[in-house]
Amino acid sequence: MKHFKIKSVIAAAAMTFAAGGALAADYTLSVNTALAQSDPLYKGLEAFQSNVAEASGGRLEVKLFPNSQLGPDEDVLEQARAGAPVAVIVDGGRLAVFQEEFGVLGAPFLASGYDGIRKVVTSDMFEDWVSKLHDASGHQVLSFNWWQGERHLLTNKEINGPEDLAGVRMRTPGAPVWVETIKAMGATPTPMPWGEVYSALQQNVIDAAEAQFPAITGAKLDEVITHITKTGHINLITGMVTSAQWFDSLPDDLQTILRDEALKAGDIASYGTRDSLEQIEADLTAKGIKISAPDVTPYREATAGVYDMLGYGDLRDTLRAMAAE
């Protein structure tokens, strides 16, 4: 009888695997991103998914939701704030409403490329911001080294300087640092969710947008624009942010695994993005998009006042020095 019971248990386990996989994980984290699966950053998310499963011995499962399947970033942040086991890849501007220092990460011409801004978001000073955000809003940053590239102007006319942006309705995220940057550059900022940009351009609800190269192709915006002006006005660094309440409820080892693997995966995503930019630009040119690389000095000068306007004057100098080390 004993041997029969053991064989029955083994048989039941085998049926479970055959029917669809391993036993359910103890914990599940659903990660939302506005980006498409074709975006190079998504490979970092896939690495995070598999590495967390391996490091946790299957106790923690990560589920991925591209194309904002769980809703706009702001909605997912609210779900996380309420304690839901969700995370979102989000920029600092959207976190600034909870902890103002995060907003400076989206300020104009703060740094260029990935390596410099990575020094900022892995510093002791940044970790202090993470702790403050945890206590202030109920959000937990897992890592903030998810670099998506430098953002450029996407239009249906040639742009030779800030003066050509007068009256141009340009989509931007709704965070103050983004809105004020686009306004300072000369355009009329028009906040809307990323998923609505294609149709808004197609239907002339807006005249322009601004985004990094991988996002342009991921959203197929090359079908509804004719010009890209490489201003690089915002160096888009984003983070994986989850619920502090849910994170704090995890065993200590799983908390460590999540933060460690998020940092490693952020590097995979960021360097993959960096390595993809040249080819993406070549592909866009081949499709007939006119890409120009202007002198950005006029844009830099036009947006210089944004830092002081939003109270980031002192941080600007500190962070630029840190990024340049």
> Closest Cα partner for 71 from 28, 46, 34?
34
pLDDT at position 8 is: 38
pTM of the complete model: 0.89
Distance CA 94, CA 213 (A): 21
> Closest Cα partner for 258 from 168, 142, 157?
142
Facing residues of 169 across strands?
188
DSSP state for residue 67 in the 8-state scheme: T
Distance CA 245, CA 4 (A): 45
The yes-or-no verdict on residue 174 having pLDDT over 70 is: yes
Assign residue 307 the CATH number of its domain: 3.40.190.170
The yes-or-no verdict on residue 263 having pLDDT over 80 is: yes
Distance CA 232, CA 235 (A): 7
The rounded mean pLDDT for the chain is 92
The yes-or-no verdict on residue 6 having pLDDT over 60 is: no
CA-to-CA separations, 110 to 106, 129, 268, in angstroms, rounded: 8, 18, 22
The CB-side HSE value for 183 (13 A sphere, CA atoms) comes to 14
Evaluate whether 76 touches 274 at the Cβ level (below 8 Å). no
Mean pLDDT of 193-204: 96
Number of domains in the chain: 1
Expressed as residue numbers, the domain containing 131 is 2-92+101-324
Which run of H or E residues covers position 235? strand 227-243
What percentage of the chain carries pLDDT values higher than 90?
91
DSSP string, 120-166: HHTSHHHHHHHHHHHHHHSEEEEEEEEEEEEEEEEESS---SGGGGT
> Closest Cα partner for 259 from 84, 134, 137, 72?
134
The CB-side HSE value for 225 (13 A sphere, CA atoms) comes to 32
Burial of residue 135 (CB within 10 Å: 0-12, 13-18, 19+) is: exposed
Distance CA 184, CA 166 (A): 10
Residue 24: band (very low, low, confident or very high) from pLDDT cuts 50, 70, 90: confident
Evaluate whether 71 touches 78 at the Cβ level (below 8 Å). no
pLDDT at position 227 is: 98
Which residues make Cβ contacts (< 8 Å) with residue 135, sequence separation at least 6? none
The yes-or-no verdict on residue 260 having pLDDT over 50 is: yes
Residue 325: band (very low, low, confident or very high) from pLDDT cuts 50, 70, 90: confident
